[in-house]
Amino acid sequence: MTDQEKDPVVHSSLSWHLVIWSVLLVLSMGWALWDEVYGIRPWKGYQTRFVTLYRNFLKTVQPAEAETEKKIKASSEYQRLDREMLAAEKSVAQRVGEIDREVNQTLVPRQLTLNDAFQIVRSEIGALTYQTEVASSEGGKQSLRKEIDDIKKRVAAVRLPNADGSTASQDYTYGQMEKDLDTWKSRKAQLLQQRVALLKPAAELRAQRDKYLSDRIADVSTETLAGIERTLDTFETGIRQIHIKDVDLVDRCESCHLGTREPVVLTKAAMGGEAVYTSHPRLELLEVHDPERFGCTPCHGGNGVATSSITKGHGRHKYWLWPMHYRENFEAGCQQCHSGEIVTEMADTLNAGRELFRLRGCMGCHRYEGFDREPEELTSVHQEIRQLQTQKAEWEREAGFSIQKADRVSDNAEAQRLYAHADNLKVRSSGVDAKIEQLDMRARNLIQEIKKVGPSLKEVRMKLRKEWLPVWVENPNHWRPGTKMPTFRLDQDEVRAISAFIWQSGLTGKAVQHPQGNAERGREAFETRGCMACHSMGEGDQKQGGTFAANLSRVGEKVNYNYLVRWIHNPRERTLPYDPIEKRDLTEEDYKKQGLPFVFDEEHSRSPYGNHELVVQQMTPMPSLRLSIEESRDIATYLMTRKQDNAAYAEAAYLDDPALKARGQFLVRHYGCAGCHEIAGLEEEQRIGTELTKEGSKPLERLDFALLGHDAHGEGWYNHKGFFENKLKDPAVYDKGKEKESKLERLKMPNFNLSKQEVDAVTTFLLGSVESTLPARYHFKPTDQRQDIAEGWWVVRKYNCMGCHQMRVGQSTVFMTLPRYQDPDWKEQVPPILIGEGARVDPDWLMRFLKNPAMHESTVDRNGVRQYLKARMPTFHFSDGELRKLVRFFEALSAQAQPYIAQSLEPLSESERLMARQLFSSEGAPCLKCHATGDPGHDRIATAPNFLLAKERLKPGWTRRWMIDPAMMAPGTAMPSGLFQRDGERWIFAGPTPPNFRTYTKDHVDLLVRYMFQFTPEELGRLRASAGSGAGR
């Protein structure tokens, strides 16, 4: 039969098919097995490589470490300690040996042997005792008790071991066993105690020796390295996870990132170029946020549970809602819990983002919990006051009813109850008064605290050159590169309408004519008084000064001289007070109608129409420098010279065209200008933007990528980060390609012209603004002084204190960057460093100083403390609340107890006063050379504060520490260090002392502190006289 004739059903062979497919089946099974063990568990490979790389790295480190250790161990001091330790050990070695022998060879084996026998009898007795307890009949109980007695009397032979290994039999009853065991136990305890006492000197010496070694090794000791090697030898491949039960958090990040918490700092280079094994770059952060309590993903984002691939573990997967933060935004993780702060330690990018959000006026349109909260708080305070008043009226009415009823009832007890009820209500409503009073004060504070990002537009007519206005509105960044004001998308018509509305809504106040000042003096004042801590001057590379406020390089082109003088003299001066209840500016007419003088300032801030607070100051953070009117004119004259030579502005007569006003107002409202500016008629405008407090956790689908959604998918930026970055870079970007019926429907957000770095900072801030997935106790809501610090930073940032003062180590001030202050002669002119200020000054004094830095009622054109400083500590017109926050802030930064209770000092005896005076004026301690004395001739060259201030200003403890070593507290201070030296328990003056000091046995520093804190103006006179005579000698 040929093949074709055979029945294929019967004769065709399937062998090859079967073989091939069986092989494929085996292969696929093998593949499945490999996938199960390694393919979906890539961390296993990571762990194997980690062990190899780590071991190699340790090999390179060890010799160097061993070398240093060898050197230290060879030092005579170490050798001496080592010898002493060994000697101490040796001296007690014999006795220790005896104890060890007795305990280990006699007591313990005997105890164990006897204990076995004892346990058997005891359990037998225990069981019988239980039966006795539950036996029903008295007869049964009796017989059981007898049985127990028999057992107790029973004698058992126990073979006890001897020290030499032999055993000896001994007869024991139950009672004897118990007694022997107790005796041996106490004997053992006694011996072990003896042993510890014997070894104590040796142990102490050993600790001393080891400390000597560890103190001198910067990194890790060879012992630690050896320890690490041992752990590597026993390294077990397996998931490393942090499980926090109550949060339901499982983070397995360390299954691959094995080096994160190693005691040795691992760098990428050290680990063969693999970044995955590096140590956490900021281990000090992990000390605050212990990974065992916080995990990894709450800060970093990512999918802590996923171990099957890098992409999934890092959460860079479209279905994972919390992807790991990218490098430039990693501080976003901080914001989740530190949402109430404006400054978070060690989170510079995030802080920059928050600051931009505040400073650039984002909060003018977008509500964000905590930012610019004063207007909202004010509303709620007003509401609360109204509620309390209603409540009070109700209680009073009820009290009246109660009395009426009581008068009528015949029952005496009932009447008394009703009278008591009425009394109770009256007392309670009087308590309400106290509450209302507090709220009223809070309202007053809040009105004072409300600040606007931009200048008041009510002043434009007095302040500005008319032609300049439309140029500015059209593109502020063009006229003044880097300005805070963003560029809106406006066409010419809109610019004209907006400018016309703003111009026409401006107030016309009295224009005081000022004569010209001296521009040269003005320039000097501008550069030294402190203006440049906030303002900058010069364009491009020439730019100097702070970025907190405007660049004034072209200010001469836009402002009116007379207004500028007024502004510099007192920026808070308002043309008209604003009444938030009447919702308009009050004029002289209003006051006249009520028969009141037209006076409004901090002391006269009540409305003529009722008892509520008015806005009596400009809503600007710019403080008053308390300059004389002449100096203000000088500075203004100088600023008027700041202009471009060829600046030309087109005629703008249309600004007075009333036809444009209505449309202008509509546009100003539409674009939300009132978010940053005070504008007549629009004072109570609401924010026009979306709230951003939780923007980072808004579902991605709710972010409108518009027509770019598809591109975003393709290009890989379809995520929150991509949305924010593109929006910030170009706020109009999501209008691309959209057909909008009118311009007004386009996206309104203006362009802030942010740099890449700024975009990153704000993006970080927004990415961190999420609905936290962690329970509330993880959030940073401290109840201790850290709360004061967090609150204080808001005030400090609001008024840019860091422009002049260094508040924390490592922070730079604007002053430090100005070229003039690089000159050694000018170093002393830098405003004081405030690190440790809370420990230095008396809080009550600080409060007074912040309220009025001139420290004088009438003469205000001066510094209250450092009269030698050209820079002026300005008057910020802080509200009481802000003052309180600032003082608490400084106290908290220095961990000072609150409230402050001044330390009482021992009074000075007459002889001590004389001694101190002599020391103060001696050649060795020419204190008065630098410290001011109140003598105008001397104070011109004095560079340190007057001693008269010390009593009220300083804290004695600080003063003492300061005198001993000022350089340590403030590096670079002019105050000399090393004035005192240690003499046993006390400090004595290091230089030559006046003769009467020889018999003085007390502490010299203490003497001087007491002298300073009991200083009087009369004593200053005596001291000056004595110093004068001393100098003459």
Partner 1 sequence: MDLHQLWTIISTPDNVPIVMLLFVVPFYSWYALRQAFANDRLIEQLEADPAMAKTHHRKVQPYRPEWSREVHVWPFLLRIEFLAAIIVTVILVVWSITLNAPLEEPANPTLTMNPSKAPWYFLGLQEMLVYFDPWMAGVVMPSLIIGGLMVIPYIDANPLGNGYYTFKQRKYSILTFLFGFIVLWTSMIVIGTLIRGPGWMWFWPGMTWDHNRLVFEVNRDLPDIFGIKSGIMKSLFGGFVVTLYAIACGIGVHKLITRTPFNRKIYGRMSLVQYITMQVFMITMIALPVKIILKLLFRIKYVWITPWFNI
Binding site for partner 1 (CB under 8 A): 5, 7-10, 14, 17-18, 21-22, 24-25, 28-29, 31-32, 35, 39, 319-321, 699, 701-702, 706-707, 709-710, 714
The residues, ordered by sequence, that sit 6+ positions from 604 with a Cβ below 8 Å of its Cβ are 616
The answer to whether 289 and 254 have CB atoms below 8 angstroms apart is no
Residues found in the chain: 1033
**Residue 32 or 968 with smaller CB distance to partner 1:** 32
Alpha-carbon torsion (81, 86, 89, 90), positive or negative: negative
**Minimum distance, C-beta of residue 489 to partner 1, in the bound complex (Å):** 22
**Residue 215 or 739 with smaller CB distance to partner 1:** 739
Does a cis peptide bond (omega within 30 degrees of 0) precede residue 899?
A: yes
Which token pair is 451? 């600040």
Which token pair is 347? 């989170």
The answer to whether 555 and 653 have CB atoms below 8 angstroms apart is no
- Give the number of other Cβ atoms within 10 Å of residue 468's Cβ: 19
**Residue 13 or 234 with smaller CB distance to partner 1:** 13
**Residue 132 or 697 with smaller CB distance to partner 1:** 697
**Residue 10 or 74 with smaller CB distance to partner 1:** 10
The residues, ordered by sequence, that sit 6+ positions from 368 with a Cβ below 8 Å of its Cβ are 357, 362, 691, 692, 693, 769
**Minimum distance, C-beta of residue 219 to partner 1, in the bound complex (Å):** 45
**Residue 39 or 992 with smaller CB distance to partner 1:** 39
Q: Which long-range contacts (CB under 8 A, 24 or more apart) does 560-563 make?
A: 560/462, 560/463, 560/464, 560/465, 561/514, 561/516, 561/636, 561/637, 561/640, 562/462, 562/511, 562/512, 562/513, 562/514, 563/459, 563/462, 563/463, 563/511
Burial bucket for residue 178 (CB in 10 Å: 0-12, 13-18, 19+): middle
The answer to whether 933 and 946 have CB atoms below 8 angstroms apart is yes
**Minimum distance, C-beta of residue 832 to partner 1, in the bound complex (Å):** 54
**Minimum distance, C-beta of residue 707 to partner 1, in the bound complex (Å):** 6
Q: What are phi and psi of 782, to 5 degrees?
A: -70, 150
**Residue 316 or 888 with smaller CB distance to partner 1:** 316
Which token pair is 963? 């005198």
**Minimum distance, C-beta of residue 458 to partner 1, in the bound complex (Å):** 43
**Residue 39 or 126 with smaller CB distance to partner 1:** 39
**Minimum distance, C-beta of residue 695 to partner 1, in the bound complex (Å):** 16
**Minimum distance, C-beta of residue 25 to partner 1, in the bound complex (Å):** 5
**Residue 29 or 512 with smaller CB distance to partner 1:** 29
**Residue 297 or 753 with smaller CB distance to partner 1:** 297
**Minimum distance, C-beta of residue 806 to partner 1, in the bound complex (Å):** 47
**Minimum distance, C-beta of residue 300 to partner 1, in the bound complex (Å):** 19
Following CA atoms 288, 291, 296, 298 in sequence, which dihedral angle do they give, to the nearest 10 degrees? -60
Q: What are phi and psi of 865, to 5 degrees?
A: -110, -60
The maximal CA–CA distance of the chain, rounded, in angstroms, is: 145
**Minimum distance, C-beta of residue 713 to partner 1, in the bound complex (Å):** 8
**Residue 681 or 709 with smaller CB distance to partner 1:** 709
Query: Comparing C-alpha atoms, which of 533, 519, 478 is closest to residue 640?
Result: 519
**Residue 144 or 306 with smaller CB distance to partner 1:** 306
**Beta partners for residue 251, in sequence order:** 242
Q: What are phi and psi of 841, to 5 degrees?
A: -110, 155
H or E stretch at 440: helix 412-449
The answer to whether 531 and 635 have CB atoms below 8 angstroms apart is yes
Packed helices 629-640 and 561-569: angle between N→C axes, nearest 10 degrees = 130
**Minimum distance, C-beta of residue 337 to partner 1, in the bound complex (Å):** 21
H or E stretch at 161: strand 156-161
For residue 303, the one-letter residue type is N
**Residue 775 or 992 with smaller CB distance to partner 1:** 775
How far is C-alpha 173 from the geometric centre of its chain's CA atoms? 73
**Minimum distance, C-beta of residue 820 to partner 1, in the bound complex (Å):** 58
**Minimum distance, C-beta of residue 710 to partner 1, in the bound complex (Å):** 6
